[in-house]
Amino acid sequence: MEQTDKSSKQAKKEEARRLKRKRIEEAGGVRPRAPKKDNEAKKSKGGQSNEKRRQKQNLQQEGRHRFGRVMEHVPCPNKARKHTISIAVPGSVVTNRQTHELRTHLVGQIARAAAVYHVDEIVVFDDKLSDTGKGKSFYRRNDWRNSHGRHNRDRGDKHDRKEETKDKDKEDDENSQSRPPPSSDPQQFMARLLQYCECPQYLRRNFFPFHPDLQNAGLLSPIDAPHHVRAEDKCPYREGVVLDKKADNGNGGSLVNCGIRNRPVEIDRVLTPGIRCTVQLDVKSYDKAARMKGTVVSPTAPWEDDGTYWGYTTRLADGIKAVFDECPYEGGYDLKIGTSERGNVTVDDKGFSIPTFQHAIIMFGGVAGIEECVDADESMTLPGKDSMKLFDVWVNTCPFQGSRTIRTEEAVFISLARFRPLFASNSSEQGSVVEKTPPSASTADIEFSDAEMSDESAEND
């Protein structure tokens, strides 16, 4: 009798398992769950229902979207811009920093200032005041090695440390043959980091191989400019790199990686693989399954179209004279501004203004100022005390400063902020400004979000 009961129970269990497997198969391999009613929702340990917890999370999400810190889109003036703004900075300012991390951070500050205030060109010039001679690296001895945490002198006895140091030095010497050498002068160091900051993140592997100058690139604050687009952004312009492929079995235009996941863009011409280009796209094509097609345009097209800022170019100059003589714009700079504590005018002067211009440049001095740079440059026949004759405006942008000194990276931010309203009201654009849409560039209409950190924004940015 007892054995019969056991067998019947076993049969019932087998039948229950069979029915359960059948239901799972009918549900497509997913275990079906009975829907829960709202009034039967289980309570959590704290006594709060799942539904209430969900409502609270939704309210928090709404608040975060309303008062976030990160703009969904950079504000666009919706006005075509015809003028350009350039700044000139001496590369020697990085030699005044004691560590590689501080030098990298300094360059990042200048790049951020250039992006915030729509600078189109950064000229890094040699002010002839650097102690570093040509062919001699301005890195400190063992700076590259120590920055990677080697030669830890805080553990082990003295003998072990010496032996360990010898072994690692030997290993470093063997590996140094395949490692690219660091920059031999501060101008190249600054220019490389400025170019790295300006390049969209999805293109950096193509244009910036491993280099000692970039060992602390992770410390750089991202500029988060409009051309640093996300993969999901539906932007009419994108920066891209030409791939070694062609569309339509080699009969069409080149394919370009524009940072869109698994969707290379076919352009209207064949270009050399590996070069960077600006591509104009149809916004509607983002939602279509067909291959995206675009047109190669000038990098100036976005801001000439509706004023969208599109990054800066970086140029090296051998001296102050070369800054002006090698100007890439036709006709040169028609407005030259020099900044100095000894300026004959200040931005606070009543009635201070600047003449109309097409291409303006603001020059900043190093630790000793522009006057010392002019004195040290043998190609200049002008004495340093007459430096003001090189410029159309010789101005003090921070009169009655509270500190004895203003660092170059601070002067860049201060000067660009003070000149911004003057540049915006540049009357040379009157009559040629194209209104794309009714003026609505107020910050009240800008969408913010900090629901999730953007790929381009640092956590402590």
* pLDDT exceeds 50 at position 155: no
Tokens of 22: 């059948």
Given this model, what pLDDT does residue 68 score? 54
Beta bridge partners of 338: 363, 394
Question: How many CA atoms lie within 13 Å of 139's alpha carbon, on the beta-carbon side?
Answer: 22
CB distance 181 to 137 below 8 Å: yes
* Out of 101-110, 260-269, 323-332, 445-454, least confident range: 445-454
Check if the beta carbon of residue 237 is closer than 8 Å to that of residue 278: yes
Convert the pLDDT of each residue in 324-367 to its tens digit.
999 999 999 999 999 999 898 999 998 899 999 999 999 999 88
Distance of CA 319 to the CA centre of its chain: 27
Lowest mean pLDDT among 100-104, 147-151, 257-261, 370-374: 147-151
Residue intervals in the chain for CATH 2.40.50.140: 237-300
- Residue type for 394, please? W
Please tell me the predicted confidence (pLDDT) of residue 436.
35
Q: Are 294 and 258 in contact (CB under 8 A)?
A: yes
Segment 243-269 mean pLDDT: 86
| pLDDT greater than 50 at residue 423 | yes
Which residue intervals of 45-200 are DSSP H helices? 50-66, 100-116, 143-146, 158-175, 186-198
Closest CA to 257 of 243, 275, 277, 278: 243
Q: Which two tokens stand for residue 198?
A: 């300006």
Amino acid at 436: K
Collect all residues with Cβ–Cβ distance below 8 Å to 227 and sequence separation of at least 6.
200, 237, 238, 239, 302, 309, 310, 311
Tell me, which fold does domain 237-300 have in CATH? OB fold (Dihydrolipoamide Acetyltransferase, E2P) (2.40.50)
The 10 Å Cβ neighbour count of residue 11 is 10
pTM over 0.95: no
Cα 436 to Cα 244: distance, rounded to the nearest angstrom: 37
Look at residue 290 in the predicted model and tell me its pLDDT: 85
Helix axis angle, 186-198 to 100-116, nearest 10°: 50
pLDDT digits 0-9 by tens, 279-309: 999 988 888 888 899 999 999 999 988 889 9
For residue 457, which of 224, 227, 229 has the smallest C-alpha distance?
224
DSSP 8-state assignment for residue 29:
S
Type of residue at 127: D
Q: What is the pLDDT of residues 178-189, one digit of tens each?
A: 556 666 689 999
- Which DSSP helix (H) or strand (E) runs through 424? helix 408-424
The segment(s) of the chain belonging to CATH 3.40.1280.10 are 84-142+184-223+311-429
Residue 315, SS3? strand
Rounded average pLDDT over 82-109: 94
Assess contact for 333 and 359: CB atoms under 8 A.
yes
Share of the chain above pLDDT 70, in %: 68
Digit-coded pLDDT (tens) for 159-206 = 555 566 556 555 555 555 555 666 668 999 999 999 999 999 999 999
φ, ψ (nearest 5 deg) of residue 85: -125, 125
- Least confident range from 30-39, 281-290, 336-345, 399-408: namely 30-39
Q: What are the tens digits of pLDDT across the range 428-451?
A: 454 333 333 333 334 344 444 444
Averaged confidence pLDDT in the chain: 79
CATH class of domain segment(s) 84-142+184-223+311-429: alpha beta
